[in-house]
Chain A
Amino acid sequence: MAIHKSLFASLLICLLFQISHGATKERLFSDLEKGALEVTAKPSREGVLDAGIDKLSITWKLSSTATKEAEFTTIKVKLCYAPVSQVDRPWRKTENELFKDKSCPHKIITRAYDKSPQSFEYTLERDIPTGTYFVRAYAVDAKDHEVAFGQSTNEAKSTNLFSVQAISGRHKSLDIASICFSVFSVLALLVFFVNEKRKAKIEQSK
């Protein structure tokens, strides 16, 4: 009962934070300035890239059409899902409310804003899932609010996409350990069973 009560209490505290924190975040994606940055993302090789091994060559620079340049303090570069990787996966859904939007969960790099063209060599992390992606760079102001963005694909998110194959996560040592413990479990049971049957037979013959 005590555990239950303390869980409930901590829950209440957590959600109080959530409520107060979330109330201010109704900034929308559609309010952001589109195409303020020109972003390119070039894969290190053709075909499906391997997570943990292959690299992306990412560059970004201020576009000539940008208007809110004065507010830029930081550039946040993220890896985003293309629509084909969002099908039947509501946890990757694109939402207009920025704090709800889950389509760009993977951070690549965060750098202070610089007028000159920037570039970064990004090695795909080992926890990137299998899917099709593009790169987006958010321009963030001093209050940590997004004001503009640029992406390596077009508005319909259909060009310049690249595919990544995740690592399997499997290891030979893990497989062997798994087999060993399974065999032990079955053997131990059989040994007990046979032993007891023998003991019961001895008792019966007494």
Chain B
Amino acid sequence: MRHFQRYIYATKNYSENLKELRAKRLEKNKTHVLSQEERVFFSRLLGTIMAHHNEDEGSVGTSMHGVTAREQVFSFSVQGEDDGPSSHTVRFDDPTAKFALPVDSEHRATAFKPFSFAKPHMRAFHLGWISFFTCFISTFAAAPLVPIIRDNLDLTKSDIGNAGVASVSGAIFSRLAMGAVCDLLGARYGTAFLLMLSAPTVFSMSFVSDAGGYLSVRFMIGFCLATFVSCQYWTSVMFNGKIIGLVNGCAGGWGDMGGGVTQLLMPMVFHVIKLAGATPFTAWRIAFFIPGFLQVIMGILVLTLGQDLPDGNLSTLQKRGEVSKDKFTKVFWYAVLNYRTYVLFLLYGFSMGIEMTINNVISEYFFDRFQLELHTAGMIAASFGMANFFARPLGGYASDISARFFGMRGRLWTLWILQTSGGIFCVWLGRATSLPIAILSMMLFSVGVQAACGAIFGIVPFVSRRSLGLISGLTGAGGNFGSGLTQLIFFSSSKFHTADGLSLMGIMGMIFTLLVAFIHFPQWGSMFFGPTSDEKKSKEEHYYAAEWTEEEKRQGLHEGSLKFAENSRSERGRKAASDGSSPSTPPENGNPAHV
């Protein structure tokens, strides 16, 4: 409604000039065709209104710039050959015009085109997920080669189990740190540092000669799983909230697929190297060079082709003064104070955590329980991980669709349904005694638990704006924590038969999933309760601005959060449309000649 008032205000002030111009025209030319001066006047007037309009409006409509009838504005801009100083072409400085995808007021893309590599949005997406995919390959590269490695290094079952726990534990800490690194240095450097500094650890598998060395190297390689955080962070700053569930689901899912691909890739590479003449105990060491190379190549690509933010790189923008550097203590404080962080930490531990445990354990399970050949068991293990290709994006998409109708409540219910069904199928997998049933339950289990991962990251971007990076990191760390915990409890000792371990893990997962009911947003509600009735607190702005102190607000540091708050009104679901936050048809759309 505001722009209409401005229009009135503007025309009132200029109405005297307008009347003059009109009178002059009718007197001189005796025509209804607008004179040059009138045309100039109108285009400047409308240009002013358009500039204001673009800044004030939320996501609805801005991305459609150029598609609606507002093009009329430009048709009145004057060519100005004959007139000289009195004519001014409307210099419409529209920065959104330079992006290949439609964007919102924060220049985050509002459309997702997976086959495009356009700068900066889709390029960031592809670089992010492929980096993460590469790191998953490296982290789980040892799992399919364990039968060879255990003979070379004389490992016992506890050695192998402990190394499995170590491979996911390192990332608990690196994912925590990664969130802060992204907030402070940008996603690009976070990713590149991780890829290129952990490549040496992958190469160092060639030095390993005993169980201790094997465990340390797997532990160190595991640190690179923090690329998950930088990848999700990168997509969260590049893509609008309405599609963030789908985008994060695709990025996360396609990255997680690496855990499945590695079960096929590493044995294949090993086999080829053996054919080339190497003995098995040397061939597996050479095979590890492949993930190492992939990491170095990806690191270089990220640095040369990537961009931190839609408007440029972080250091450049910071030095130009466009993006302010935030204080780590503040970012940390607001992440730690938000109770939703801990709930998401635990929830992710029993979706992603379970998934990673299965990556380490499932091949051996099928090999032992059903007396399969190693390559058959490997193929089954691979299909578990590869279901991620569609399962995780499906979860993100389901989250986005439910948000469109039911807002945040829809997202929470979607998460609960997906994760609980994952748990049910996990229990079924443990109980299955015939191979076809086991495979069926495993596939349903994989879809449930992987879609739940996607759904969780449909919610994470809304928990905080200021500490988004750190909270992404904490949630991601929760995944590794859950994996280490479940491997330790259920799969490292002879207390449980592996089948019982699976069922018990499923039950534990279902119990922890009940925590979803505790996530409550004052502006949007929760699974069972609606938004708060308090007038002030039920505004998105209040929730996101609460992360800044009065002093910081006075300095205007919270502008980014306010922009985000406005864009996040879509989380009210269908109600957002009837709230009047969508623009009424602007009157300047009409032909100004009728004025």
- B152, B285, B436: the one within 8 Å of A129 (CB): B152
Q: Which of B196, B282, B436 contacts A186 (CB under 8 A)?
A: B196
A156 contacts the other chain (Cβ, under 8 Å)? no
Beyond A12-B436, A166-B281, A168-B281, is A100–B371 a contact (Cβ under 8 Å)? Answer: yes
Give the shortest distance, in Å, between B55 (CB) and chain A (any CB): 26
Q: A15-B435, A174-B285 are in contact. Are A89 and B209 (CB under 8 A)?
A: no
What secondary structure prevails in chain A residues at the interface with B? helix
Residue A189 at the B interface, CB < 8 A? yes
Q: A126 within 8 Å of B by Cβ? A: yes
A169-B152, A175-B207, A181-B199 known; 12 new pairs, CB 8 Å cut-off, are A3-B389, A7-B386, A8-B383, A19-B435, A87-B156, A89-B157, A166-B154, A177-B289, A178-B206, A178-B289, A184-B296, A200-B316
**Within residues 78 to 111 of chain A, which ones have a CB less than 8 A from any CB in chain B?**
87-91, 99-100
> How many Cβ-Cβ contacts under 8 Å join chain A to chain B?
154
- Chain B residue contacts of A189, Cβ below 8 A: 192-193, 196-197, 299, 303
A-B contact pairs, 5 of them (CB 8 A): A18-B373, A126-B281, A186-B200, A196-B315, A204-B319
The digit string for A120-131, where 1 denotes a CB below 8 A from any CB of B, is: 000000110111
Is B439 an interface residue, CB under 8 A from the partner?
A: yes
| B-side interface residues, number (CB < 8 Å) | 58
Chain B residues within an 8 Å CB radius of A87:
156
Instruction: Tell me if A142 is interfacial: C-beta within 8 Å of chain B.
Output: no
Q: How far is the CB of B437 from chain A (nearest CB, A)?
A: 12
- Closest chain B residue, CB of each to CB of A192: B303
Is B197 in contact with A4, judged by CB distance below 8 angstroms?
A: no
Q: Mark B276-291, 1 if CB is under 8 A from A, else 0.
A: 0001111011100100
Cross-interface CB contact of A1 among B152, B286, B316, B390, cutoff 8 Å: B390
Residue numbers in A under 8 Å from B293 (CB-CB) = 181
Complex contact B200–A182 (CB within 8 A): yes
Complex contact B150–A91 (CB within 8 A): yes
Say whether A18 contacts B376, CB under 8 Å: yes
B204/A170 in contact, CB under 8 A: no
> Quick check: B316 and A203 within 8 Å, CB to CB?
yes
Q: Which of B251-304 contact A (CB under 8 A)?
A: 279-282, 284-286, 289, 292-293, 295-296, 299-300, 303
Contact A167 B279 (CB under 8 A): yes
- Asked if B380 contacts A170 (CB within 8 A), the reply is no
| A residues neighboring B (CB under 8 Å) | 1, 3-4, 7-8, 10-12, 14-15, 18-19, 22, 87-91, 99-100, 126-127, 129-131, 166-171, 174-175, 177-179, 181-182, 184-186, 188-189, 192-193, 196-197, 200-201, 203-204
B204 with A182: CB separation less than 8 A = yes
Task: Determine if B452 is an interface residue (Cβ-Cβ < 8 Å).
Answer: no
Known: A7-B382, A178-B207. A193 touches B443 (CB 8 A): no
Residues of A with C-beta under 8 A to B326: none
Give every chain A residue within 8 A of B147 (Cβ-Cβ): 91
Cβ of A64 to closest chain B Cβ, rounded Å? 37
Q: Which residues of B contact A185 (CB under 8 A)?
A: 196-197, 199-200, 295-296, 299
Taken together as a complex, chains A and B put the C-alpha atoms of A11 and B152 apart, in Å, by 30
Residue B151 at the A interface, CB < 8 A? yes
Residues 341-370 of B, flagged 1 when their CB comes within 8 A of A and 0 if not, give 000000000000000000000000000101
Does B387 sit within 8 A of A, measured CB to CB? Answer: yes
A7 touches B379 (CB 8 A): yes
Q: Do residues A15 and B199 form an inter-chain contact, with CB atoms below 8 A?
A: no
The answer to whether A181 touches B289, judged by C-beta atoms less than 8 angstroms apart, is yes
A7 and B282 alpha carbons, distance in the complex (Å): 30
A188 touching B376 in the complex, CB below 8 Å, given contacts A18-B371, A127-B281 = no
- Interface: B576 (CB within 8 A): no
CA distance A89 to B280 in the complex (A): 20
Contact status B282-A174, CB under 8 Å: yes
Q: A90-B157, A91-B150, A166-B152 are in contact. Are A188 and B315 (CB under 8 A)?
A: no
Distance of A185 from chain B, by nearest CB (Å): 4
CA distance A171 to B379 in the complex (A): 31
B34 contacts which chain A residues (CB < 8 A)?
none
Considering the complex of A and B, which 4 residue pairs feature the smallest CB-CB distances, nearest first? A169-B281, A182-B200, A129-B151, A88-B156
Q: Which of B196, B279, B386 contacts A3 (CB 8 A)?
A: B386
Please, which residues of chain A bring their CB within 8 A of the CB of B21? Answer: none
Q: In the assembly, what is the distance between CA of A130 and CA of B210, in Å?
A: 11
B219 within 8 A of A: no
**Contact partners of A90 in chain B: CB under 8 A:** 157, 368
**A197 pairs with B207, CB closer than 8 A:** no
A129-B152, A174-B286, A182-B203 are known contacts. Are A193 and B189 too (CB-CB below 8 A)? yes
Q: How far is the CB of B189 from chain A (nearest CB, A)?
A: 7
Pick the residue among A3, A10, A170, A197 that contacts B285 (CB under 8 A). Answer: A170
Contacts of A126 in B (CB 8 A): 279-281
Which residue on chain A has the smallest CB distance to residue B389? A4
- Given A178-B206, A186-B200, A200–B315 Cβ distance below 8 Å? yes
How far is B151's CA from A168's CA once the two chains are assembled, in angstroms? Answer: 10
